[in-house]
Amino acid sequence: MPSCRGQELSAIAWAFATWQVHDVPLMSAVVERTTSLASKLSCQDIANLGWAFAKLLAEGDELNDVMSAAVMQKLGRFTSRELASIAWAFATQLYENQQVTRAIAEACSQWTQEREVFGAQSLSNLFWSLTRLRMMEKIVLEKMADMTLPKIVEFSPQALANTAWSFGTLATLGPSGASVMTAIGEVASPTLSGFSFQGLCNLAWSFATVAAVGSGFWDGLGKRLSEPEVLGDADLQLNQVATLAWSFSSIGRPPPSALVHLLKQAMEQHQAVSDGVDVQVDVEMILRSLHVLNIHGMLSSEILGLARSLLQQMAREKDSRSARSHVPPEAAGSFGKEEHPHVVIQNEQLCFLWKPKGWSMSVGKDREGSGDTTGSEQTLETWIQDHFGDIFPIAKDADAQHGLLHRLDRDTSGLVAWAKTYDAYYEGRLQFSLQRVLKRYVCVCHGHVPTDLIGCFIRTSLRIIPAGPEGPKRCIPGGDSGLPSKTLVLDVTHFTSPDGAALSLVEVELHSGRLHQIRVHLSSEGFPLLGDPLYGEGSVWCSRIFLHAAFLSLTVGLTLAHYCPLPADLKSVLLEMKPLSRLAKVAKEKWLDKRVS
């Protein structure tokens, strides 16, 4: 081995990787020799060795550092296939060297027709690799999309699925990207039988995320899922089936009955293999799939029981480290001070916390940002870690949202539910997914909301728009491609502002939990909230959005329920509002009372 040249080394490594032969001593010798020869390796040797090391999972930052230095030295001399192979190797090992990855991405974006063009497989590998390494910038994406479009018919099913996954992960499409996703749908739809089950999941999730294809694909996918050989040789994975269920619902379709059967089968299999073994599942996807089945009237008691059993099993080991059942007074924070969070009420399983205005929350699907945070304000998650982290392990667990069961917008005040244990957390999240939580809000909006809306649902579907040059993350009415959303109007009374403008004091009850749901629903009816610059306009005399989470009721073992009066800043706004009827005067007095109920 000490006398081997680069070509011989790459040939040995390539052969062992191709046959998946894990000869540890031999590969260690190859790695050692590669490190000493790195500066003398040819472009093809670098690409072949990188591919082989990734295929055999010969991980190590030292080796990758050597390989990336060799790549940078010869970057302008690689063929497109070699460049794609190197990117794939780094992505497979999740080796995130920003300098070399950016250099590869820029080389791709500058590729011209005067040089060898990328083949279909190379393009697919690059899409997947640069996305996984978080280096798919807009200019690179558009350039590669332009190169991909004429070659899309040459893509294999796996290449189509991987490319679609890249666009879904990026969650934003330029003109060229949208054309590529449409083309992928057109090529994939008549050939779904050629896709692996994982490939079908990737396609469905990607198309649902960017709402990129029409009904033909979904009709074909539903039919394919009903075929006995849909799994092929693959094992049935619970996370994959849950992803498919979410994908159908997110484009406004109920999951096909065959998929519901697969979900039940996957839960049964997962429960059997994980009995006594710490086997984890994607909790978010399981909860989303239950939510999907519930809203479409397809959730059976059997599936619910299986899901609850899985969640309890996951909680059992984690909760063995929790000893305390109540938050002691010294850990409860600045109790009673409106400007700071504090415990309002608690039982053995749950706490209801006071969230003041200006405190952000970023949990679950909204970890990437809720669209109304500045990045510098105080966060409720940090407060929970600081006050409860030494008592309750879940308070420090970001993967379990630090125990938070839901979120409020930064400028919304009111009650937030926090779970002290993993068992309470999973059961609480389950209750939210099944829409068995009672959440009531009070708000003030511009205009006079018709009183005949009292007792009626606003059912406008909603679609999330990612943050971008056009503005922060937000929701818009989604039409047929939006997520089902329901807000019940409980009460409406009419007022005028100090300058005589029409205002309404509105009480609502949430029956779904979409981003900015109340703000978008009322704005879509023509009545934006007072002080809401995102969906309406700011206010000189109301310094923040007039929206308050006033009542919360949740059952986890025992039921915890509580009303929360308006904070001082919103009371001062309400005091300046002139009621236009006896009912409005009664409503005003009610919300100015500290004992509101």
What is the distance between the alpha carbons of residues 562 and 585, in angstroms, rounded to a whole number? Answer: 24
Q: Are both 487 and 593 inside the same structural domain?
A: yes
**pLDDT mean over 222-237:** 87
Q: Which one of 433, 449, 475 terminates a domain?
A: 433
When pLDDT is cut at 50, 70 and 90, the band that residue 168 belongs to is confident
When pLDDT is cut at 50, 70 and 90, the band that residue 249 belongs to is confident
Active site residue 411: no
In a domain, residue 252? The reply is no
297 token code pair:
């009237």
When pLDDT is cut at 50, 70 and 90, the band that residue 209 belongs to is confident
Q: Are both 498 and 407 inside the same structural domain?
A: no
In a domain, residue 183? The reply is no
Q: Which one of 433, 460, 492 terminates a domain?
A: 433
Output the pLDDT for position 114: 44
What is the distance between the alpha carbons of residues 360 and 353, in angstroms, rounded to a whole number? Answer: 14
Could you report how far apart the first and last alpha carbons of the chain are, in Å?
A: 81
Q: How many domains does the chain have?
A: 2
**Taking 60 as the threshold, does the pLDDT of residue 365 lie above it?**
no
pLDDT digits 0-9 by tens, 465-501: 877 777 888 999 987 767 889 999 999 999 999 999 9
Q: Are both 377 and 340 inside the same structural domain?
A: yes
What is the distance between the alpha carbons of residues 256 and 276, in angstroms, rounded to a whole number? Answer: 32
Q: Are both 373 and 476 inside the same structural domain?
A: no
**Taking 60 as the threshold, does the pLDDT of residue 258 lie above it?**
yes
Looking up residue 592, the CATH number of its domain turns out to be 3.30.2350.10
Q: Among 366, 409, 491, 532, which one carries the catalytic annotation?
A: 409
Domain that holds residue 545: 435-597
β-bridge mates for residue 510, sequence order:
439, 487
Give the dihedral sign, CA 219/223/226/227. negative
In a domain, residue 91? The reply is no
What is the distance between the alpha carbons of residues 71 and 41, in angstroms, rounded to a whole number? Answer: 10
Helix (H, G, I), strand (E, B) or coil at 557: coil
pLDDT digits 0-9 by tens, 297-346: 999 999 999 999 989 988 988 887 665 667 776 666 655 678 899 999 99
Q: Are both 367 and 414 inside the same structural domain?
A: yes
pLDDT digits 0-9 by tens, 112-166: 444 456 788 888 888 888 888 887 666 677 777 888 888 899 999 999 999 999 8
Q: Are both 481 and 586 inside the same structural domain?
A: yes
Cβ-based neighbour number of residue 480 at 10 Å: 10
In a domain, residue 104? The reply is no
What is the distance between the alpha carbons of residues 590 and 596, in angstroms, rounded to a whole number? Answer: 6
Residue 185: exposure state from Cβ atoms within 10 A (0-12, 13-18, ≥19): buried
Q: Which one of 401, 433, 465 terminates a domain?
A: 433
What is the distance between the alpha carbons of residues 207 and 204, in angstroms, rounded to a whole number? Answer: 5
